[in-house]
Structure 1
């Protein structure tokens, strides 16, 4: 049974999500990850098996699908 570790809700839904991971200063985008999503707060939870699959992918176990270019902004608060 699902219980959200953030808000305590027991309601969830299954979805595929996209996540960005940062390893050693390099960013990696992984698409189509099966996840359980808390219906109340939106927290994403991955199974142990999926987490291990992602780890193997990001550490050289699977060939890269494609590369993308991303614009990067540094946040600067407005002066009050």
Structure 2
């Protein structure tokens, strides 16, 4: 049974999400990750199996399906 650890809601739905990961200073975008999403606050929750699958994927030597350019901003200098 789903229970959101942010807002406590028990309402959720399945969704495919995208997430950016930083591995040893290099950023990777992983798409189509199966997740449970809280219907109240939008918190995204991955199963242990999915989390492990993403970890293994990012630490293998496989080539990504494509590469993209990524713009970077630093909030630290914003006034």
**TM-score when scaled to structure 2?**
0.90
CA distance in 2, matches of 1:20, 1:42: 17
How many residue pairs match? The answer is 78
CA distance in 1, matches of 2:14, 2:61: 26
CA distance in 1, matches of 2:6, 2:24: 27
CA distance in 2, matches of 1:25, 1:59: 13
Q: Counterparts of 1:5-44 in structure 2 under 5 Å?
A: 5-44=5-44
**TM-score when scaled to structure 1?**
0.89
Unpaired stretches in structure 2, ≥5 consecutive residues: none
Unpaired stretches in structure 1, ≥5 consecutive residues: none
Residues 40-65 of structure 1 show CA distances to partners (whole Å, capped at 9, x for unaligned) of 11110011111111011000164311
4+ aligned runs moved over 2 Å, structure 1? 75-78
Please name the residue that 1:50 is paired with: 50
Cα separation, partners in 2 of 1:62 and 1:46, compared to 1, 3 Å = farther
CA distance in 2, matches of 1:31, 1:62: 16
CA distance in 2, matches of 1:61, 1:71: 25
